[in-house]
Amino acid sequence: MIRSPDPVEFARRPRPWFRERSRATASSFQESEAGVTRGQVPAKLECEPISTVRRPHEWKNLVCPTLVGHLLALAEQTGVLELRDRMFAGEHINVTEDRAVLHTALRRPATDSLTVDGQDAIADVHEVLEKVYAFARRVRSGEWVGITGKPVKTVVNVGIGGSDLGPVMAYEALKPYVQEGLECRFISNIDPTDAGETTKDLDPETTLVIVASKTFTTLETITNAKVVRAWLLDGLRERGIVTDEASEKEAIAKHFVAVSTALDKVAEFGIDPANAFGFWSWVGGRYSVDSAVGTSLAVAIGPEGFADFLAGFNAMDRHFLEAAPEKNVPLLMGLLNVWYSNFLGADTHAVLPYSQYLHRFPAYLQQLTMESNGKSVRRDGSPVTYETGEVFWGEPGTNGQHAFYQLIHQGTRMVPADFIAFANPTWALGDGDADMHELFLSNFFAQTKALAFGKTSEEVRAEGTPEAIVSARVFTGNRPTTSIMAPALTPSVLGQLIALYEHITFVEGAVWGIDSFDQWGVELGKVLAKQILPAIEGSSEALDAQDQSTRALIEYYRTNRTK
């Protein structure tokens, strides 16, 4: 049984090194000669106070070699790397669900093999991948046609949580790689607005729906799938295309496919199991974008693009497995997060991509990190005695600069932040002679510099600032950031980036001794929603069974709803 030491107790030990504000060097991504992108690691760690260094560094963190040594010792003490090896080997490290945790198998080459629960997981993965790729080719080439013989123009992915956030984030991030004339849309929310707005201008004859649900029981997804099925059939009926049961069946077969681990339920829904792509219980929803859940993305960017995406994940997996601890980026970044949250009291962690294409990345990370590490008991069921799971949040720069950066620069809370940027833009636009990407990136470089070095009262006074407002214009600096850069936002780089955060999340969960792969905390609300529905629909008995506050809210709804 692996147990974490109590970080609070650990934090009380004398730490003369704590006051040393230090810097570490590069964490960046670079293309290798083979074209595979690899995560590069901090080459060295130095212990110079950042407020006097006065030159840009890629890691501007409150660390020094002694501290890193302590954090690596903490990782050793808590068995992080043993747990990593057990995860990659397919052991059942998801203890509360008694499951293997094998998203890393989704991106291993076909030449590998790994037997899990008596099955060759890698062979299974590649069998499904080939099926997804064949489907993607047929849609992209126009060979897959709808009931009236027209090729697909719009792919609508219906799913929620991990069956939505990964595909939509990656689709948005890789827009420049999307085949011209093809568009993906995503319906997730059970708010009818989502299905209504998404389908309102679509042509059912050229729409293909992917129903993505690991369990195929999720209320939101099944409801949305039924609503979209009705929309599609009604549209085809109005045009006289669907006229009877046989043409209805044909329309569903040509316009609906599914992604699920529950292929029996897919058939019950009316989708031909031949048009279903499977995955396995050992792929958690929030770790599934690189499984068949990414089918919409595979259609959009093509099998070659998707293969690059998977190669990026695999490159980061290998780095996490093979790099020495003191050079292991996910290990170090995960430990830094533990340092900031458990030892320095940071409650939140900002992720700030300087790339509009990554505008859904923080939302994606919210599920990855918070559904994984929002836990209060250890793997053996005992309560933790320290904080777990920071609140992840963020927005793309520079928009965030004009919204919430004030708090990060001058607020009382420490908000460690990851800045992400790319050397090359997709849109090489200019404002006269000025390269717009350089105007953009000057902000990226400036922000981490300002956060690290701040501005002293002497500097503020030297600008002739009236004494009464000097303190309001001082920046303390020493606000930690990690900058991640890559040559460009390619499918491979995106794969690396996602895998990096998967492994950071893993490291933190391992130090805390929790099960990062279950999600029991989302169950109670689902059960209560089912119980409350009759009260909303008009049952007085169900209404009376509610607590006073919930009853008052439902009464307000019933009074104000016009049907």
Site residues, ligand F6P (CB under 6 A): 160-163, 213-215, 218, 221, 285-286, 371, 519, 522
Active site residue 70: no
Cα–chain center distance at 54: 34
Q: Which is nearer to ligand F6P, 216 or 343 (CB)?
A: 216
Neighbours of 140 (CB within 10 A): 20
The candidate with the shortest Cα–Cα distance to 299, out of 491, 418, 171, 423, is 171
- Taking the least distance from each CB to ligand F6P, the nearer of 22 and 291 is 291
Helix (H, G, I), strand (E, B) or coil at 125: helix
What burial class does residue 438 get, using C-beta atoms within 10 Å of its C-beta: 0-12 exposed, 13-18 middle, 19+ buried? exposed
Cβ–Cβ < 8 Å for 209, 217: no
- Of 371, 395, 502, 508, the active-site residue reads 371
Query: Any idea what DSSP says for residue 179?
Result: P
Closer residue to ligand F6P (CB): 81 or 170: 170
Give one word for 209, left, alpha or beta, with left for phi > 0 and alpha for psi -120 to 50: beta
- The Cβ-side half-sphere exposure at 362, using a 13 Å CA radius, reads 22
CB of 524 to ligand F6P, least distance (A): 11
44 is catalytic: no
Q: Is 349 a catalytic residue?
A: no
Tokens for 111, please give them: 């030449």
- From the list 450, 441, 451, the residue with the least C-alpha distance to 353 is 441
What is d(CA 211, CA 205) in angstroms, rounded to the nearest whole number? 17
**Minimum CB separation from ligand F6P for residue 371, in Å?**
6
- C-alpha 129, offset from chain centre: 21
Closer to ligand F6P by Cβ: residue 27 or 218:
218
349: β partners: 392
In angstroms, give the least distance from the CB of 162 to ligand F6P: 3
In the bound state, the residue with its beta carbon closest to ligand F6P is: 285
Contact 479, 51 (CB under 8 A): no
The distance of closest approach from Cβ of residue 28 to ligand F6P in the complex, given in angstroms and rounded to an integer, is 31
- Residue carrying the six token digits 């897959």: 144
Q: Which residues pair with 31 in a beta bridge?
A: 37
Closest to ligand F6P by CB, 146 vs 285, is 285
Which residue in 143, 322, 402, 530 is the catalytic one? 402
Tokens of 265: 């339920």
> Alpha helix (H) ranges present in 282-417?
295-322, 329-338, 361-365, 372-373, 405-410
Q: Which is nearer to ligand F6P, 161 or 362 (CB)?
A: 161
Q: How far is the CB of 25 from ligand F6P (least distance, A)?
A: 37
Least distance CB 306 / ligand F6P (angstroms): 19
Closest to ligand F6P by CB, 74 vs 125, is 125
Q: How far is the CB of 106 from ligand F6P (least distance, A)?
A: 15
Positions annotated as catalytic residues are: 371, 402, 526
